[in-house]
Amino acid sequence: MTIRHDRDRIPQYDLLISARCSCERLAGYLAARSDIDHYDNERRREKDETVTMPEAEMLEVKQIFTEYGLTSEQSEPLVKALAAKPDAWITL
C-alpha cells in the first residue's frame, strides 16, 4: 500500500473540488433566493387581494379558523379585527 502525501496530489483534483464547492454554494444561494422571491410574490398577491376583494379574503380567513375548530360566530370578531390591521391580515 502506497501512502500519498499532499505534495503528491494532482492539481486538477484541487480545481475539481474547488469548482464543486462553488457550484454547491451557488445552488444554495439560488434556492434561498428563489424562496425569498416566492414569499415576496405571495405576500404582494395577498396584499392586492385584501384591497381588491376583501370579502373573499375575509371568507378565506374564516375558513382557516373553521379548520382550527372555531364556529363562524367565534371567528367573526377575529376576522374583523384582522381586517382592521392589514399587515397582520396579510401575514396570516
CA distance 83 to 90: 9
3-class state of residue 85 by DSSP: coil
Four-CA torsion 83, 72, 64, 52, nearest 10 degrees? -40
pLDDT on residue 65: 94
pLDDT above 90 as % of the chain: 61
CA distance 71 to 25: 48
Residues of the chain where predicted confidence (pLDDT) is lower than 70:
1-15
Q: Kindly tell me the sign of the dihedral angle through the C-alpha atoms of 90, 54, 77, 69.
A: negative
What global pTM score does this model have?
Answer: 0.62
In a domain, 4, yes or no: no
In a domain, 71, yes or no: yes
CA distance between the termini of the chain: 63
- Quote the number of domains for the chain: 1
In a domain, 35, yes or no: yes
Domain of residue 18 covers 10-91
In a domain, 3, yes or no: no
In a domain, 5, yes or no: no
